[in-house]
Chains A and B, each alone.
Chain A
Amino acid sequence: MDAVLNIPLEHVLFLSIILFLIGAFGILIRRNVIFVLLSLEIMMNAAALAFIAAGARWGEPDGQVMFMFILALAAAEVAVGLGLVVQLSRRFQTLDIDRAEELNG
């Protein structure tokens, strides 16, 4: 049990930063809406992981409470997102964000 608890805070925070950056790059380079939503989910979960690590540092449940909040938020966000994706593919037969580009100027 001790071995599990002894993971230093920094290591987990680094991992969460790496996950956050992976998500951010995914949003920047992916053109498929589904993958963009997936990357968004990775970014959210990176923050959730950081909360759990911080909560473990202080030995408080608050970090895990925030984790539950983030889980619910990300689910709600993706639910709306997938609804929009269904609309996009039904009406315009595309999942490509760039092909849906009509607004500019």
Chain B
Amino acid sequence: MFQAGLPYLILTTGLIVLMVGVSIHRSHQVAWSLTVLTLIATFISHFFVYEAVATDIVVITELFRVDSIAYFFNAVFLLATLVLVLFAQVFLDRRTKFTEEFYVLILAATLGAMMLPASTHFASLILGLEVISISLYALIAYPDHARPPLEAGLKYLVLSGVGTATLLMGMAFIYAASGNLDFSSIHITDGSMEGEILFLIGNTLFWCGIAFKLSLVPFHIWTPDVYHGAPSVVTAFLATVSKGAVFAVVLRYVIEADILSSDTISNAIMLIACASMVIGNLLALLQNNLKRLLAYSSIAHMGYLLIVVFLISVNTSLGYESALFYLVSYFVMTLAAFGVIIALSSKSETEVDTLNGISGLLWTKPAAGAVLIAAALSLAGIPLTVGFFAKYYLFTAGISEGMWPLVVCLVLGSGLGIFYYVRIIFRTLEKPQEELSVSVPWLGLSITVLLALAIIVFGLYPTPLVDLIRAILVFPPTL
């Protein structure tokens, strides 16, 4: 039964070996290779032990329950981290003298991200979340001579700390009301007035904390500054793996704790979702910095994803199907967009992240420009890209369940979104004013091209991805 924990053990072993290795002998090349090897080994190990979770409910103490959905999330997180680690090698050399610890930290953050989709208990939730967050504080402030990263790191530390404290406070109140810490039994209160009130306060605080971590409106203030200040590799990790992991645990919490049966809570979540979709897109219209623009775009995308939370409580298997599809496509297009920024910034000390910086990119660096256009089209949800199918899933689901406020906001948000995504595309197509002097590393460029191909291929022919997700959902004990 414990064989289902094998991927976690492999990642932890690789992490410890790397940590000890770095303290004995410093070598960027060795640390990088070891990290890539660990990530690939962990990824492959999922296939060997998949049988165990595909046929039986695997419970590892009361803290974790590993199922095929958790494995799917893990695989996606590992691939995303692998892509970023491949980018990081050239990127880091220009930014710091001490590159090795970066890999220790990013492996630790990945371990935290893998804990969350399997967690069934408040203790494992908070542990996984903090393993990600604390590694991220250091990762964000990693470059050792620039000022913005340090500032962003401190800002993230304080605001994410407030989020964690709020989350913990919520958990404490829920525990006071129900006497349970595992998701499946927290909604059983003693029925007294007092217990109900405690439960409601607890859940409000809990969702505020989660909204902080997912950067949903009105808890989104930190997002643009942190995205802007952090080195692009870390920003991409924050936007994809960290948010994906939090979302995975939110899905499980919603299903197991049956939280939406309370009208007050479900209305509040609906309000947060609508506000995120509209306000995220509105604020993105004003941005001139590509990373800030993507930050607001990610706020809106998290708002879209919250539709799944409602869907999943009425139709679990369709809900999971659209959630997994949306997350995969969000990962691919976000990584492609950040991949271009990372590739352009790799050989320079500062980040090439303004809209002026990408002016005429298609003519000066055709491959990078084309990838950026594909990513922007996909993020906007234009047909023939994977982003279109992801939105289509949410749209049809919203209509079939009659969730009108959410559907209206989805349409409104997507409409607003087209403006600023088209702005990116226009800037890319402009006549270049000056020759872009930066050179682009071949590895980074080929990865971004692969990601762009994935956007187009799954946009034309999503069946393989949908089939894979349906196969994953055949035997999850939660359905």
Residue positions of A touching B, CB distance < 8 A: 9, 13, 16, 20, 23-24, 27, 33, 36-37, 40, 43-44, 46-48, 50-51, 53-55, 57-58, 60, 62-63, 65-66, 69-70, 73, 76-77, 80-81, 83-85, 87-88, 91-92, 97, 100-105
Contact = CB atoms under 8 A, between A and B. Distances in A.
Given A77-B161, A81-B137, A88 B122 contact: no
Shortest beta-carbon contacts, A-B, top 6: A50-B172, A54-B176, A47-B168, A43-B165, A58-B179, A47-B169
Contacts of A62: 175, 181
Interface in B198-233: 198, 224-225, 228-229
Interface in B131-160: 133-134, 137-138, 141, 147-148, 150-155, 157-158
Main SS class of interface, B: helix
26 contacts: A13-B173, A16-B172, A20-B165, A36-B158, A40-B162, A43-B162, A43-B169, A46-B165, A46-B169, A47-B169, A47-B172, A51-B171, A51-B175, A65-B123, A73-B164, A76-B134, A77-B130, A77-B137, A80-B157, A84-B150, A84-B157, A87-B150, A97-B154, A100-B154, A103-B152, A105-B289
A58 B195 CA distance: 13
Contact of A44 (B157, B168, B229): B168
B391 interface: no
Contacts of B126: 69-70, 73
A101 B151 contact: yes
A37 B138 CA distance: 16
Given A69-B127, A105-B292, A9 B176 contact: yes
A73 B137 CA distance: 13
B45 interface: no
B313 interface: no
B351 to A, nearest CB: 12
B364 interface: no
Given A54-B172, A65-B123, A44 B289 contact: no
- What DSSP secondary structure best describes chain A's contact surface? helix
B157 A88 contact: no
Contacts of B152: 103
B290 to A, nearest CB: 12
B199 to A, nearest CB: 12
Nearest to A9: B176
**Interface footprint category on B:** 35 or more
A60 to B, nearest CB: 7
Nearest to A37: B158
A85 B151 CA distance: 10
B316 interface: no
Contact of B176 (A13, A81, A88): A13
B317 interface: no
A66 to B, nearest CB: 6
Interface in B38-76: none
A97 B154 CA distance: 9
A70 to B, nearest CB: 6
Nearest to A100: B151
B288 interface: yes
Given A44-B165, A69-B126, A105-B288, A84 B154 contact: yes
A65 B229 CA distance: 37
Contacts of B155: 103
B180 to A, nearest CB: 9
B169 A50 contact: yes
A88 B137 CA distance: 14
